[in-house]
Amino acid sequence: MRPGTQVPPARPPGFRPAVAGLLLLLGCAVLLSAPGCLGPSGTRSPGRTTVQPKAALLPARIVSNFFLVEAKQADGHTYRFLIDTGSRATLVSAALAHSLRTKDKAGSPGMVRLSGAMADELELEAATLKSLRLGDATFEQVSVLIYDFTEFSGQLGLPLDGVIGFPIFRDTVLTLDYPGARLMLAPPGAEAGRPAPVPGTTTVACNNEDSSPLIPVQLGNESFIALLDSGSDGGLSLNPTGLHPRFASGPRAGVMVSSLGGDHQQRVGRLSQDLLVGSIRLEQPVTDLTDQLSSLGGEFLKHFTVTFDQRNSRVTFRRGDGAPVRMASRRNTGLSFSRTPVYWRVLAVVPDTPAARTPVQTGDLCVRINGEPVEKWGAERYAALLRTAPEITYTFLQGPKETELKVPVIDLVP
């Protein structure tokens, strides 16, 4: 191996993240675990996968860079799923599991203890679904873990019933068409999974041995491995160990990240170097620094139609042209929130931001944004406000009184 090449560290048994990556919603990053992916060791594919000769198509919805689909199941109900290529496990709600699971054998349900990289632990009940349907594709005997999505759904602003991990697609060709907002599934070798080379198309080798899509990328003259993580709404999450990244801006303190092991503040900045993914050039990306495996999330993937061909160990990126990808500045008022339908609780105030010059403190409750109740501000709408508004008016509850504060929006990372 030539100098300047970074390899991923050996992974402990247990898991890496569930909804892998940083959920940068409402100025607050919420991790269901830690950056990377989740999955008990020995994750296995479904017992049988049935896909029609033609590609199965399913409309998608891209919300805050997350790839969401809705699919009708055998019980006649329609459920909403997040497609998470960064997860080695499939997680479902208790209600979905109760309706679709196989009959339990005698004895108590099996439990799986997950241990994360930040010493956090979580014990989830394991179950097997009779089937899981995505349009005309059917996966039988699907191993799942049962998870409470209440908090995540609150942050997203939409009810979520499950997170579908990468291993389930082992016997299909999976295409996430972000610009076209659709999911496609095809049998291995189908033409739908092998797009003809056209301008704006690049195919890279993919290491799927650990049931995770790992690809080689290059920063300057240094190479490293990155996880393709559709379960993260971020762009580039970079582990700088063994590398020598240079920054045009920062790194500086970012928003607060909440994980099972507690809260910690991000370090963010914009690189002065370009990142290469095959022939794709990501110009001076905004970067979240991490001590976990480097990853590329939805902020990067949203520019492409991405095809994962696990059998042939390759990933193909398609775009209308071969122009470089440029990430927008990271705008914020400096407030990190956790969200409920009734109020948003301040998790932290980012130093050296407009919010830091106000009386707002951790734990304060925001009940309105620009005069409207917080329940009307879904993740997508609030993110759009941060991108365009010069200032935001927050209404905070202080005992029986309400106090309005106008806080400027700045480029946290230009």
> Which comes out higher in pLDDT, residue 357 or 111?
357
Higher local confidence (pLDDT), 96 or 152: 96
Q: Determine the pLDDT at residue 263.
A: 60
Cis peptide bond prior to 251, omega within 30° of 0: yes
Other Cβ atoms less than 10 A from the Cβ of 195: the count is 15
Q: Give the pLDDT score at 108.
A: 55
Rounded to two decimals, the pTM is 0.85
Least confident of 50-64, 182-196, 355-369: 182-196
Which of 5-19, 159-173, 175-189, 194-208 shows the lowest per-residue confidence on average (mean pLDDT)?
A: 5-19
Q: Which carries the bigger pLDDT value, residue 108 or residue 279?
A: 279
- Name the band, by pLDDT with cuts 50, 70 and 90, for residue 135: very high
Least confident stretch, 170-179, 228-237, 376-385: 376-385
pLDDT for 11 equals 32
Question: pLDDT band at 54, cuts 50/70/90?
Answer: confident
Is 55 or 241 the better-scoring residue by pLDDT? 241
Would you state the pLDDT for residue 27? Answer: 38
Q: Categorize the per-residue pLDDT at 247 as very low, low, confident or very high, splitting at 50, 70 and 90.
A: very high
Is the pLDDT score of 72 beyond 70?
yes
The residue with greater pLDDT, 407 or 22, is 407
The per-residue pLDDT for 230 is 96
Compute the distance between CA of residue 95 and CA of residue 381 in angstroms, rounded to an integer. 29
When mean pLDDT is compared across 10-14, 21-25, 104-108, 330-334, the lowest value belongs to: 10-14
Show the domains of the chain with their CATH numbers. Answer: 24-192 (2.40.70.10), 201-326 (2.40.70.10), 330-413 (2.30.42.10)
